[in-house]
Amino acid sequence: MSTRVVKQFEDYWIWGILALGVVLGYHLLTLSLIRTNILSGISLFGLLLSLALFSVRKKVPFLPVGTAAGWLKFHIYCGLFSVVLFAVHIGVGLPNGYLDVSLAIVYLGVVSSGLVGLGLSIWIPKQLANCGEEVIFERIPILQRQLRKEAEGLVESTGNGEFGKFYISQVVPFFERTQYSHTHFFNNDRTRQELLNNLRAKHSFFGALERESAQHLEALIHTKYNLDRHATFQGFLKGWLFIHIPLTASLLLLSMTHGIIAYLYSPRFF
């Protein structure tokens, strides 16, 4: 077993023991008649605030406050640990009242979307492993335009022969826009293969210069296809944030409202 795997198991054990300690600690506090719901609520809200700091950390990567990988690890473990605190806070019963039910639903939405995001962050890099070097999402349109200009340059260099006619009739749509497609999720490259097969079928009609340009165009088609995969997967991952982050903001707002009401209508903390 590798050192990395052993280290991961050590982390799981540490957090597992900590979670068990919290559950037992709150149980002992309950037996001593201390109002653990207030204490667990404050602890849970503090943990949620610390989880929200991960988003802030990503926006200011230049600050010397730990690595991005370390913050991600902290975010994942604290998110899982919040489930324990949430279970302790609500107890064995179900929440009642519009605010409590809404808070529970939003919390479960945050946890669920977080787990989905964790799965995507593990799965998507594997899908992109064979798509060339890593590409920054914001640079993809620029690189695509460069490929299109390079392809158009090949057509201009060969004149208005069969190669140019083929490019205009079949290749232009491929280079004009990002080919977002669900087929990327299933590693289905039928569109690219059909385009390449049609191009190769035309080789016998091309002149020597056109055949050389056709080979170069094949390489550009492969590169464009990989950029489309990057755009699809990275765009999907960024789109997920538009679900997770608003849910997190709503959770914090509902939690503050819940805490204020609990404080105002609670006769005492302990």
Mean pLDDT of the 133-157 span: 91
Whole-prediction pTM value?
Answer: 0.73
Q: Give per-residue pLDDT as tens, 213-244.
A: 999 999 999 999 999 999 999 998 888 889 99
- Cα separation, 155 vs 51, in Å, equals 53
Domain interval for residue 270: 96-270
- Cα separation, 229 vs 87, in Å, equals 40
Domain-ending residue, one of 42, 70, 93: 93
Q: Give per-residue pLDDT as tens, 251-268.
A: 999 999 988 887 777 655
Q: Which residues contact 144 (CB under 8 A, 6 or more apart)?
A: 175, 178, 224, 227
Q: Are residue 117 and residue 73 in the same domain, yes or no? A: no
Domain-ending residue, one of 64, 93, 122: 93
Q: Are residue 67 and residue 178 in the same domain, yes or no? A: no
Q: Are residue 171 and residue 80 in the same domain, yes or no? A: no
Domain-ending residue, one of 93, 111, 142: 93
Residue 85 pLDDT class (50, 70, 90 cuts): confident
Res 198 pLDDT > 70: yes
In the chain, % of residues over pLDDT 70: 79
Q: Are residue 64 and residue 168 in the same domain, yes or no? A: no
Q: Are residue 34 and residue 50 in the same domain, yes or no? A: yes
**In angstroms, how far is CA 78 from the centroid of its own chain?**
18
Q: Are residue 238 and residue 104 in the same domain, yes or no? A: yes
- Cα separation, 241 vs 59, in Å, equals 14
Q: Are residue 67 and residue 105 in the same domain, yes or no? A: no
Q: Are residue 243 and residue 123 in the same domain, yes or no? A: yes
Q: Are residue 197 and residue 263 in the same domain, yes or no? A: yes
Q: Are residue 246 and residue 182 in the same domain, yes or no? A: yes
Poorest-pLDDT segment among 54-58, 122-126, 210-214: 54-58
Q: Which of 145, 148, 15 is nearest to 81 (CA)?
A: 15
Q: Are residue 144 and residue 10 in the same domain, yes or no? A: no
Res 182 pLDDT > 70: yes
Report the domain count for the chain. 2
Q: Are residue 101 and residue 81 in the same domain, yes or no? A: no
Question: What burial class does residue 226 get, using C-beta atoms within 10 Å of its C-beta: 0-12 exposed, 13-18 middle, 19+ buried?
Answer: middle
